[in-house]
């Protein structure tokens, strides 16, 4: 997504990747391939952290939910994500969260790419988790507890299988049907899966514990008695004010890593901790500026909230792949004018005869 593609897109409109086409793209390239490349794109962008303008998001709250616009830009590309959160949507048979994204050219303001972001978000969240675990978990980690077996769980499972080396899953969900769905979806993946009766049983003996629950209330999914030395905790589900998954004592006893400190202090597991509670931004670890895990016994926590830059990286992969595979459609969101100063004439809005007729019409 460098500047050389500018002219290529100049006169061809906006490339549009629909939700069905994004799924087809993932089928064609293979889910493990997509996860691996997204993780690498995120790593690359995290290594050039300072290049990004990490603007504030705008949020419009209503009684049923929230609609947010999340912009992020570097010197070449601007992108913004549209995302909503409406907990009551499932009653209407709609998804709680829906997202799409636009990528534009910073130099000209031209919208380059419009894409679905529901599937892409599930992929990038899993890729981000795996990238953090590659960096923070013990290298010999093979067993993962997966607490919460909803919409994101299979993506987490496959990312950890292919990018971290997990071979065994110990899964639990308050809804047994969710676990059954996960087992059915991952049949043939090569993962050994044990369905457990509660979180403690699932966590027992795990090298990594991934929590990806959907509870909106302040939940205590993990309590200190479940934690074993050397565990890596991948806390994905706690991602907004009032939504956490970990008991506070776990955080006190662990080394905590976050994506972007200002955002995580509001939205993350650390939202109840004092402002000077020590956290480490992951990009500094990736750059070698900060240590990751200090010992094999240390408990590490990746307090993941999802950050706009990760969408930017994931989109870079989806857009480049779509262009390479000749997927997506061209949209004419912006008029192509033969003369930019002659909008009226270029669009051939009215002929002189029509103008006369309309004029009479109105006068009559």
CB atoms under 10 Å from CB of 161, counted, come to 21
- Find the binding residues for its own copies in span 74-133 (CB under 8 A): 75, 78, 80, 82, 84-86, 89-90, 92-100, 102, 104, 106-111, 114, 116, 118-119, 122
Which residue, among 9, 7, 90, 3, has the nearest Cα to 330 in the 3D structure? 9
The distance of closest approach from Cβ of residue 152 to its own copies in the complex, given in angstroms and rounded to an integer, is 7
252 is a catalytic site residue: no
Q: By rule CB under 8 A, what string of x and - marks binding of each residue 341-360 to its own copies?
A: xxxxx-xxxxxxxxxx-xx-
Contacts of its own copies in 242-271 (CB under 8 A):
none
> How many binding residues for its own copies (CB under 8 A)?
102
Q: CB of residue 45 vs its own copies: minimum separation in angstroms?
A: 17
Cα 51 to Cα 260: distance, rounded to the nearest angstrom? 14
How near is the Cβ of 204 to its own copies at its closest, in Å?
26
Count Cβ atoms below 10 Å from residue 332 Cβ, excluding itself. Answer: 9
280-309 residues in contact with its own copies (CB under 8 A) are none
Work out how close the CB of 347 gets to its own copies at its nearest, in angstroms, rounded to a whole number: 4
Residue among 51, 53, 228, 249 that touches its own copies (CB under 8 A): 53
The residue range among 23-31, 260-268, 286-294, 310-318 that interacts with its own copies, by the rule CB under 8 A, is 23-31
**Tokens found for residue 170:** 């110990």
Residue appearing with tokens 């369905």: 195
DSSP for 321-335? HHHHHT-SEEE--S-
Buried residues in 93-131 as b, exposed as e (16+ CB within 10 A): eeeebbbbbbbbbeeeeebbbbbbbbbbbbbbbbbbbbb
| Listed ranges 10-18, 205-213, 286-294, 300-308: which one lies at the site for its own copies (CB under 8 A) | 10-18
Q: Are strands 192-195 and 77-85 parallel, antiparallel or unpaired?
A: unpaired
- Chosen residue from 8, 30, 192, 290 binding its own copies by CB under 8 A: 30
Q: Which of residues 132-151 bind its own copies (CB under 8 A)?
A: 150-151
**Nearer to its own copies among residue 80 and residue 257 (C-beta):** 80
Least distance (Å) between residue 131 CB and its own copies: 16
Which one, 325 or 347, has the nearer CB to its own copies? 347
Nearer to its own copies, 253 or 355 (CB): 355
Report the residue number, 18 or 223, with the smaller CB distance to its own copies: 18
CB 318 within 8 A of CB 25: yes
Spatial separation of the C-alpha atoms in residues 165 and 35, rounded to whole Å = 14
Nearest one of 237, 197, 205 to 221, comparing CA atoms? 237
Smaller CB separation from its own copies, 133 or 246: 133
Strand runs labelled E in 23-65: 58-61
Binding of residue 67 to its own copies (CB under 8 A): yes
Q: Which of 239, 252, 303, 339 is catalytic?
A: 239
For its own copies, give the closer residue by CB, 28 or 272.
28
Rounded to whole angstroms, the Cα distance separating 169 from 193 reads 5
For position 19 contacting its own copies by CB under 8 A, the verdict is yes
Give me the least distance between CB of 54 and its own copies, in Å please.
Answer: 11
- Which range of residues in 66-74, 198-206, 222-230, 240-248 is near its own copies by CB under 8 A? 66-74
Mask of contacts with its own copies, 160-199, x by CB under 8 A?
Answer: -xx---------------x--x--xxxxxxx---------
**Which one, of 152, 115, 103, lies nearest residue 130 by Cα?**
152
Q: How far apart are CA 183 and CA 153, in angstroms?
A: 10
- Rounded to whole angstroms, the Cα distance separating 38 from 22 reads 14
Asked whether the beta carbons of 195 and 171 are under 8 A apart, the reply is yes
Q: Is 32 a binder of its own copies (CB under 8 A)?
A: yes
Q: State the nearest-atom distance from the C-beta of 86 to its own copies, in Å.
A: 5
3-state secondary structure of 125: helix
Catalytic residue set: 239
């Amino acid at each position: 997504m460098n500047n050389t593609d500018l002219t290529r897109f100049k006169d061809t409109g906006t490339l549009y990747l629909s939700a069905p086409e994004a799924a087809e793209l993932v089928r064609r390239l293979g889910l493990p391939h997509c996860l691996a490349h997204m993780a690498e794109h995120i790593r690359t962008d995290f290594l050039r952290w300072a290049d990004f303008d990490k603007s504030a998001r705008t949020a419009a709250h209503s009684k049923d939910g929230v609609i947010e616009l999340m912009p992020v830009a570097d010197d070449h590309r601007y992108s913004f994500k549209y995302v909503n959160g409406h907990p009551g949507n499932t009653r209407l048979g709609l998804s709680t969260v829906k997202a799409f994204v636009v990528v534009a050219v910073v130099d000209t303001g031209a919208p380059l790419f419009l894409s679905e972001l529901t599937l892409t978000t599930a992929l990038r969240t899993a890729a981000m988790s795996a990238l953090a675990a590659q960096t923070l978990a013990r290298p010999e980690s093979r067993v993962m507890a997966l607490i919460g077996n909803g919409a994101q769980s299979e993506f987490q499972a496959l990312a950890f299988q292919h990018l971290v080396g997990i071979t065994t899953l110990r899964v639990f969900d308050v809804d047994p049907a969710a676990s059954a769905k996960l087992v059915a979806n991952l049949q043939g993946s090569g993962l050994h899966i044990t369905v457990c009766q509660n979180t403690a049983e699932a966590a027992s003996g795990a090298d990594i514990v991934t929590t990806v629950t959907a509870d909106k209330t302040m939940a205590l999914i993990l309590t200190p008695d479940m934690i074993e030395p050397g565990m890596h905790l991948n806390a994905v589900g706690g991602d907004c004010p009032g939504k956490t998954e970990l008991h506070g004592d776990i955080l006190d006893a662990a080394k905590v890593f976050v994506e972007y400190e200002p955002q995580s202090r509001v939205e993350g597991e650390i939202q109840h901790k004092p402002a000077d509670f020590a956290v480490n931004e992951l990009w500094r670890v990736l750059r070698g500026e900060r240590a990751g895990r200090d010992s094999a016994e240390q408990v590490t926590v990746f307090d993941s909230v999802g950050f706009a830059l990760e969408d930017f990286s994931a989109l870079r992969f989806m857009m480049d792949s779509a262009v390479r595979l000749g997927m997506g459609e061209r949209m004419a969101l912006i008029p192509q004018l033969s003369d930019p100063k002659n909008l009226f004439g270029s669009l051939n809005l009215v002929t002189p005869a029509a103008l006369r007729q309309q004029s009479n019409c109105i006068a009559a």
